[in-house]
Amino acid sequence: MRYARQEDLQRLALIMQGSAEGVSLSDIEREFSVSRRTAERMRDAVRNAYPQIEEISGESGRKYWRFPPGSLGRMAEPTLDELTAGHRAAAIARREGDKLTAETLERLLVKVQAMFREDRRRSIAADLEAQLLADGVAFRPGPREKISPETLSTIREAILAGVMISADHRARASAKLSRNTRLGPIAMLFGQGRQYLLAWSEYQNDLRLFALAGFERVSLEPEVYERPKGFDLQEWLSESFGVWREEPLDVVWRFLPDVADEAAGYLFHPKQQTERMEDGSLIVRFRAGGRQEMDWYLARWGDQVEALFLEISGNSSSDTTESDVFRQ
């Protein structure tokens, strides 16, 4: 029995060409969520279609398959949608103040398009311009903080190298300047016009968020920094609203009937629960910190939303529902 889904086979072939060590049957199972027998049929179909495929034996005897670089030719050219996504990512990075990432993406896209044949370059240029205009990401103005490209570059280098940094940082709220602060950087977080560095503070001996716009000097230190064992960035962020993290609260928002349909189209938090009420209003519940950022966000809804923030006690489950609290 043959495997007949052409799109999957083309994607598998491209994955094989992009992998230096090759792709195993287990890799195919995971990537395409298929059984071992189906993975074998997919491998056989690619091998029959492309005789230039290479078979490699690993240390444990496991077999891998790959293509020599460039052997798939034009099949590896990106589509219009893929190029548009790349330009969209560059535009978003520039809008959020990450000029370095924006310029890096733009250089990459120029190199990619330079590999096209001349007729392909001309045709895709017009289509790409039209699609970007329709998308509008690059042209939406909005407030953003000014962050030095040198700051971003140094912090990114420290994260990749796994070393400490020394910094002079001015706190957003108090405007107090802390000099020679030693930090173990973990990740840069880009939110709604505000950007932060998540780092371990040597002085506070804890993880803290630092506004990227507050860095007035950053330099690399020779000491190695290893993030805490078992640390999961996504799990850490799941207890936050936006990027700001505080002690979590049980959060309940009630959107009035006039805006309930619109609010229902938003995912406010990855672990939210929603309930539609008899009067047409919408209740949204989740647990997170970041009260100030929530207030900033809720301001756009004006008097069409009611908010309740409950501190979490030892017995956080209550017989009183949030809908009871909001019921008039």
Give me the pLDDT at residue 35, please. 92
Q: Which of 203, 219, 306, 204 is nearest to 257 (CA)?
A: 306
pLDDT at 300: 83
Q: What are phi and psi of 283, to 5 degrees?
A: -100, 130
Q: pTM to 2 decimals? A: 0.53
Query: What domains does the chain contain, in order, with CATH numbers?
Result: 6-75 (1.10.10.10), 77-139 (no CATH), 149-231 (2.30.30), 249-326 (3.30.70.240)
What residues are paired with 275 via a beta bridge? 283
Q: What is the pLDDT of residue 138?
A: 47
Whether 13 contacts 46, CB under 8 Å = yes
pLDDT tens for the 328 residues of the chain, in order: 454 577 788 788 888 887 888 899 999 999 999 999 999 999 998 888 777 888 988 878 889 998 877 666 655 567 777 888 888 888 878 777 777 888 888 888 888 877 777 777 777 777 777 666 555 554 445 556 778 888 888 998 898 888 999 999 998 778 899 999 999 999 888 765 678 899 999 998 888 889 888 999 999 999 999 888 888 887 777 777 766 667 788 999 999 999 999 999 888 888 899 999 999 999 999 988 878 778 877 888 899 999 988 876 554 444 444 444 454 3
Radius of gyration of the chain (CA): 25
Structure tokens belonging to residue 230: 């078992």
Cα distance between residue 149 and residue 142, in whole Å? 19
CA dist 40 to 24, 26, 43, 71, 241, Å?
A: 10, 10, 5, 22, 44
Which residue in 141, 140, 142, 166 sits closest to 155, CA to CA? 166
Asked whether the beta carbons of 1 and 41 are under 8 A apart, the reply is: yes
